[in-house]
Structure 1
Amino acid sequence: MSKRTKRVDHWQDPDAPEPTSRKPSASVLVRDGAGRVLMLQRPDNGLWTIPTGGLKKGETITECGIRECQEETGIVIEVTGLVGVFTTPDHVIEYIKGGRVDEVRQPVNVCLHARPIGGELTTTDEASAVRWVDPDELGEYEIHPALRRRIDHGLSGEAPHVD
């Protein structure tokens, strides 16, 4: 999506537009040795999230998660497991370009556990702020409910989630 595209996330919204597409994506719940979670702030809506992005042709979901994390935060990771597969129709993303709805997407997200193995925290076009956050402090951050659901499940230590 273009940097001039506005993103509106809907959650359990009966007035949300109907999806026009589904796109696979990967997100990564990266925890450092102290148990802190790697978080970034999206410049398009100001919300905090874990590294997330769309799967490109020719790559695996693991490669997607590793690429997105490094592109968005500067941190190089190793995937260590599966948080879950999140496909709920409760989450719909509306992309508005030039004042018109360009796409309405229902995400198909595979969330992975990961640990840092290199790199340095850095801001990017996709992250206006990047930081390690103690799980007990996550409530202080504005996080979309769909992303908070992934994070909470990943921190719970339960078996992988599947919608």
Structure 2
Amino acid sequence: MPSRIDYYDDPNAPTPNNLVPSVNVAVTNEAGELLLIRRTDNGNWALPGGAIDLGESIPQAAVRETLEETGITCEVTGIVGTYSDPRHVILYTSNGETRQEFSIVLTARHVSGEPTPSSESSQVQWVARDDVDSYSMDRSMRMRVSHYLQGRAPHIG
């Protein structure tokens, strides 16, 4: 059983008991490929990211989380959008924490490092833009990645 379960607009979803500001990062390399991780908690592919710690800025969290999960150092370059849909609920089965989605998605460029898995990522890969659709993602992550790939104005929702 995965240790993270995502629910969307599901009447059987548990009631959220936490709201954790988090960040995801759409990092690209010189070839224009997108950095993706395969999450260890649910097996889905995703942008690197995680909770923003007390005492750090949003860009600092983005750089730290990307390095921790992927071995890649990045430089933040912009914003894809904000994602706070209360219909998206995330259950962590290891401790019963149930979060309402709250994520800021930033863009970044690769500065240094090689893709390296971590305790949170079983695989880390640079993925060609045309190949991203073939990677299994949660509905919410797919939307974030699509918004990035479309180059649309920042999403607020």
The two structures have a TM-score, normalised by structure 2, of 0.95
Q: Could you say which residue in structure 1 is the equivalent of 2:11?
A: 14
Looking at structure 2, the residues matched to 158 and 123 of structure 1 have their Cα atoms a distance apart, in angstroms, of 30
State the shift of 1:90 in Å. Answer: 2.4
Alignment-mate amino acid for residue 96 of structure 2: D
User: Equivalent of 1:136, from 130, 134, 142?
Assistant: 130
The two structures have a TM-score, normalised by structure 1, of 0.92
Looking at structure 2, the residues matched to 40 and 93 of structure 1 have their Cα atoms a distance apart, in angstroms, of 18
Whether 1:115 and 2:112 are equivalent positions in the alignment is: no
Q: Could you say which residue in structure 2 is the equivalent of 1:56?
A: 53
Runs of 4+ in 1 over 6 A off after TM superposition: none
Q: Percent identity?
A: 42
State the shift of 1:14 in Å. Answer: 2.3
Alignment-mate amino acid for residue 66 of structure 2: C
User: Equivalent of 2:42, from 45, 56, 60?
Assistant: 45
Looking at structure 2, the residues matched to 123 and 36 of structure 1 have their Cα atoms a distance apart, in angstroms, of 18
Residue by residue over 1:90-149, the C-alpha shift from the partner in whole angstroms, topping out at 9 and shown as x without a partner, is: 21100112xxx6211012101000010011110111110000111211121111110111
- CA RMSD after TM alignment: 1.2
Looking at structure 2, the residues matched to 26 and 6 of structure 1 have their Cα atoms a distance apart, in angstroms, of 20
Whether 1:29 and 2:11 are equivalent positions in the alignment is: no
The number of residue pairs the alignment matches comes to 156
Gap runs ≥5 in structure 2: none
Looking at structure 1, the residues matched to 96 and 56 of structure 2 have their Cα atoms a distance apart, in angstroms, of 25
